[in-house]
Structure 1
Amino acid sequence: MKSRATIHRDFSIARIDDRLYSAFIEHMGRAIYTGIYEPDHPTANAQGFRKDVLELVRALNIPAIRYPGGNFVSAYNWEDGIGAKEQRPVRLDLAWRSRETNQVGINEFAGWAKDAGIAMMLAVNLGTRSIEEARNFVEYCNHPQGTYWSDLRRQHGVTEPYNVQMWCLGNEMDGPWQIGHKEAKEYGRLADETSKAVKAFGKGIETIVCGSSNDQMATYPEWERQVLDECYENVDYISLHKYFGNSSHNTLNYFAKIDETGRYIQAIGGVIDFIKAKKRAKNDVYICFDEWNVWYHNREQDSRNWREWDWPEAPELLEEDYNLEDALLVGGLLNEFIRRSDRVKIAAIAQLVNVIAPIRAEKGGKAWATAIYFPYQFASLFGRGTALNVAVDGPHYSADAAQDVSYLDIAAVRATDGKSLTIFAINRSPDEAMDMDLALHGFQNVSLIDHQVLGGDGTGAREANTSANPDRIKPRQGDKLSVDDGAVKAQLGPLSYNLIRIAVE
């Protein structure tokens, strides 16, 4: 199989917002408790957070993290998680039918995020609560001093405000499963007024309004049209969510869902443009794809569990063992976000630890990187700068999810300093190697920096990293690539993800 591709230095898509490589963590399952926080763990720091997990998190260079939910936030009282820990109430979490101890609240999480070098993107409860509670939450987090909520934060030992700039206005309010689910117009009005209240706290605050929970919702994309019709001029982003699975074990159709996601983004981009034109608005609204990941391996069993169990504390939930095939799907989705970076400015992999996550952690035991950790890490580390167009000529296939799908999934980013070019190339074929000829135009003094490969070496598509074998899927140095006279020639193994870094002028 042969594919040709061309990249020109001056043919760009957009400047990539660093927040494209953000993450999400929710009070759900073992994401928080025995995930990032386990006071009795051998590696726990003075605040009770696991240092082995923190080390894996830091290596991802995550720019922002969405917290505390998710479905959890739609019945959450943020005030339950402040003050003396021994006085905090234990609550029943209706979203995941579990018991919430509130031992981690905003101040503990903010401390962890600071240690990890990550900015917070906080969600407010617009399911069971109102503008007033959202306003109070922002005042507690952002106001310096001299008011009830800011002085209360200071009494809790936090002198300096957090100055949180990103605020999510609820979560999946289109979903009938959501506690406090609302109709589009009703939610749009509430989001509009809440956004105005939140932004009254100062310049620089950005708000994210809820879009569709996925592109299969009966209300999609009419939901976006009605919601934005109510709040367009007072919000900055509209969120999209989508989860992926391969229960049918059809690898090529699985990968075609990446192209399906591109259509999802394109459709909502059209809705945004329509509302902007209708309102003669001056501002732009962008997409925040703040929940996305693979979720299917244990989904049916998990669904039965949380509907039947008797309110456990930090139960095992959505703990997926991701395989090579999943890693390539995640790499392809990141490529799609890069290719759509003119529309998608923020994206958050869901979630970060234990719950459908790139990082797994045993209670009292070890932590390790799942297979999806590596394409996420490579994109976060080397996918910052300007997204470039890539013209591809090569074999295609058709599937139920999308038609005319290229076997070569590729994205390119020129670094902020202009001195390097990173190419993320995936051979989607399950059984055939690909000879890729890549022409580079407008660049000088081209030379290879690095070539890392995931898969493509006979590793089974459905092999995964586990506690017993945490290094089964990991990157290795590539040896089938050459750079000469402005051209890259590479052989991409079947089912392989390739990170290619090239020095340029």
Structure 2
Amino acid sequence: MGKDLKASLVLDKNYKIAKVDDRIYGSFIEHLGRAVYGGIYEPGHELADEHGFRKDVIDLVSELQVPIIRYPGGNFVSNYRWEDGVGPKEQRPRRTELAWRTIETNEVGTNEFADWAKKAGSEVMMAVNLGTRGIEAARNLIEYTNLPGGTYYSDLRKSHGYEQPHNFKTWCLGNEMDGPWQVGQKTAEEYGRIARETAKAMRLVDPTIELVACGSSGAGMPTFPEWEATVLDHTYNEVDYISLHTYYGNQENDPANYLAKTMDMDNFIKTVTATCDYIKSKQRSKKTMYLSFDEWNVWYHSNESDKKIEPWSIAPPQLEDHYNFEDALLVGSMLITFLRHADRVKMACLAQLVNVIAPIMTENNGRAWKQTIFYPYMHASVFGRGVSLQPMLSSPKYDSKEFTDVPYIDSAAVYNEEKEEVTLFIVNKHLEDSIELSADVRSFEGYSLVEHIVLENDDLKAVNTADKQAVQPHNNGNAKLDNGKLEINVAKTSWNVIRLKK
């Protein structure tokens, strides 16, 4: 490859995809590993507040501005009795947790998590157990969390010290129900029926809620996408979203192919969208089904060490991926992919938030720090609010082991009319060369360049630790704006945030 690679894009405020739902910057806390115990909750820690929550962790979560957090699982929810996690702590049972084969102490449950989410400035996306339980437990839980009082379960909540209802608005009907690893795995017919009937009962208690049906556990499942079609055939009128889950890894150590995996994600979203629209047509419905990408991330570094965990321990270090620089680039590209599908992807949850495949890591009784993936996630969440625009991009391309015609430049743009700001997110996937990018932004007359943030590192395998932030952004990027023309020399393998303001 020569050194004269060029790309161009046109950005016009009239080329709108859709308003970005802030909830695409959501995350996930499951009762798994050290996400809860030793993560958000560590009563003995010197920075713990009066409820045992770590204030240093809350500060880092607040920096990310996470709008919604899925809870309590994940695979965990399919064997969870929510009643075990409410009421006096000394009376709560210890249970065998079957999904991850640990002991759940139930010190933290629904009320504590609602308290924590408030401190972190987040809404809660609650999940119900459709593995070992069903309609009745879900109905009772929503009565407990959402009714003001005057019934058995709402009064039980009051007796537990919570006078006001939590008013959780978004609910997941189970988790990954087609997965053989799931306790209570179901066929699409079985799940479609129970999801529909549970949805009906929950809506009778609180008609204002939104519901998410389980899609396939991943695009590689043998059930995909027939599962989505069957489930939606049963639930189309009862639910508002269908879920998508995906994780990527670089097991082959092939960075060019790894960074191209957003092509797979793009295709996954398009396939689920098409399936939703097929059922919409089939049922002669006027309603559009939206997507909740409620599990996504990089996950592969911890696979070997997780095989060595002693079963039936309490909050062992599980799924503790230590992310490197190339992981941050892929996470940036995944966020760009959501923005390009803002018309259909309305919620997404980076799985997960603390310690477990997470942007934030902690030491027990020690420090908390930012992993490499913290930065693109934070930039997208903080600067990516507004209307997603369609950049008309022309980029040189490459072929990798699994993908053809992969654009070296990945881009998305968000226009915040109220604040008179426009933000361009750009990833250069080229492993060796920078790319000269010229962008026509004449439609944003009177705008000037605020900053050009860059995340770059010569070592794709560089990681952050509590002692050293080897990968962190700087804001002395080289973008120049002159007469509506933006010129950027996009560094090789870099994540870029370019902000313009009137």
| Deviation of 1:416 (Å) | 4.4
Name the stretch that deviates more: 486-495 or 288-297.
486-495
C-alpha distance in 2, partners of 1:337/1:330? 11
SS at match of 1:436: strand
How big is each residue's C-alpha offset from its partner over 1:385-420, in whole Å with a ceiling of 9 and x where there is no partner?
A: 100001111210122333211000100000141501
Residue 308 of structure 2 corresponds to 305
Is residue 2:164 matched to residue 1:148?
no
| Deviation of 1:481 (Å) | 1.3
Select which of 465, 470, 473 maps to 1:472: 470
Select which of 68, 85, 99 maps to 1:95: 99
C-alpha distance in 2, partners of 1:201/1:475? 47
Residue 288 of structure 2 corresponds to 284
Select which of 108, 115, 121 maps to 1:111: 115
Q: Is the 8 A contact 1:430 1:494 kept in 2?
A: yes
Is residue 2:485 matched to residue 1:487?
yes
C-alpha distance in 1, partners of 2:290/2:322? 33
Residue 337 of structure 1 corresponds to 338
C-alpha distance in 2, partners of 1:148/1:400? 59
* One-letter amino acid matched to 1:392: L
C-alpha distance in 2, partners of 1:478/1:199? 51
Q: Is the 8 A contact 1:113 1:119 kept in 2?
A: yes
* One-letter amino acid matched to 1:78: W
| Deviation of 1:79 (Å) | 0.3
TM-score (norm 1): 0.97
How big is each residue's C-alpha offset from its partner over 1:327-356, in whole Å with a ceiling of 9 and x where there is no partner?
A: 010000000000011110000000000000
Number of paired residues?
498
* One-letter amino acid matched to 2:211: T
| Deviation of 1:283 (Å) | 1.8
C-alpha distance in 2, partners of 1:199/1:254? 42
Select which of 184, 187, 211 maps to 2:188: 184
SS at match of 1:239: strand
C-alpha distance in 1, partners of 2:433/2:207? 53
C-alpha distance in 2, partners of 1:231/1:459? 49
Residue 351 of structure 1 corresponds to 352
C-alpha distance in 2, partners of 1:466/1:401? 32
* One-letter amino acid matched to 1:20: I
Select which of 123, 132, 138 maps to 2:136: 132
How big is each residue's C-alpha offset from its partner over 1:253-291, in whole Å with a ceiling of 9 and x where there is no partner?
A: 111111110000000100000000000112221000000
Equivalent runs, 1:158-237 vs 2, <5 Å: 158-237=162-241
C-alpha distance in 2, partners of 1:207/1:401? 35
| Deviation of 1:196 (Å) | 1.1
C-alpha distance in 2, partners of 1:416/1:484? 21
Q: Is the 8 A contact 2:301 2:321 kept in 1?
A: yes
Q: Is the 8 A contact 2:452 2:478 kept in 1?
A: no
Is residue 2:415 matched to residue 1:396?
no
Residue 52 of structure 2 corresponds to 48
Select which of 264, 269, 272 maps to 1:268: 272
C-alpha distance in 2, partners of 1:305/1:281? 50
SS at match of 2:243: strand
C-alpha distance in 1, partners of 2:340/2:348? 13
RMSD: 1.0
Equivalent runs, 1:409-488 vs 2, <5 Å: 409-417=410-418, 419-455=420-456, 458-469=457-468, 471-488=469-486
| Deviation of 1:234 (Å) | 0.7
Q: Is the 8 A contact 1:424 1:498 kept in 2?
A: yes
C-alpha distance in 2, partners of 1:355/1:325? 19
Q: Is the 8 A contact 2:69 2:122 kept in 1?
A: yes
Q: Is the 8 A contact 1:244 1:294 kept in 2?
A: yes
| Deviation of 1:124 (Å) | 0.2
Equivalent runs, 1:305-324 vs 2, <5 Å: 305-306=308-309, 309-324=310-325
Equivalent runs, 1:351-390 vs 2, <5 Å: 351-390=352-391
C-alpha distance in 1, partners of 2:374/2:289? 30
Gaps of 5+ in 2: none
C-alpha distance in 1, partners of 2:171/2:445? 43
Name the stretch that deviates more: 379-388 or 277-286.
277-286
4+ residue segments displaced more than 6 Å:
none
C-alpha distance in 2, partners of 1:274/1:418? 38
C-alpha distance in 2, partners of 1:143/1:392? 50
How big is each residue's C-alpha offset from its partner over 1:282-320, in whole Å with a ceiling of 9 and x where there is no partner?
A: 222100000000001121331x235xx231000011111
Q: Is the 8 A contact 1:409 1:427 kept in 2?
A: yes
How big is each residue's C-alpha offset from its partner over 1:96-132, in whole Å with a ceiling of 9 and x where there is no partner?
A: 0101000000111100001111000000000000100
Q: Is the 8 A contact 1:446 1:483 kept in 2?
A: no
How big is each residue's C-alpha offset from its partner over 1:394-451, in whole Å with a ceiling of 9 and x where there is no partner?
A: 2101223332110001000001415010000111111111111111142210200111
| Deviation of 1:212 (Å) | 1.1
SS at match of 1:233: coil
Q: Is the 8 A contact 1:260 1:401 kept in 2?
A: no
SS at match of 1:200: helix
Q: Is the 8 A contact 1:124 1:170 kept in 2?
A: yes
Is residue 2:495 matched to residue 1:497?
yes
How big is each residue's C-alpha offset from its partner over 1:163-210, in whole Å with a ceiling of 9 and x where there is no partner?
A: 110000000001011000000011001101111111122343100000
How big is each residue's C-alpha offset from its partner over 1:132-160, in whole Å with a ceiling of 9 and x where there is no partner?
A: 00000000000000000000000000000
SS at match of 2:452: strand
How big is each residue's C-alpha offset from its partner over 1:220-252, in whole Å with a ceiling of 9 and x where there is no partner?
A: 001101110111111000000000100111111
SS at match of 2:99: coil
SS at match of 1:193: helix
| Deviation of 1:9 (Å) | 1.0
C-alpha distance in 1, partners of 2:219/2:311? 33
* One-letter amino acid matched to 1:483: L
* One-letter amino acid matched to 1:338: L
* One-letter amino acid matched to 1:223: W
TM-score (norm 2): 0.98
Select which of 67, 81, 94 maps to 2:85: 81
* One-letter amino acid matched to 2:166: Y
C-alpha distance in 1, partners of 2:118/2:369? 22
C-alpha distance in 1, partners of 2:125/2:195? 16
SS at match of 2:149: coil
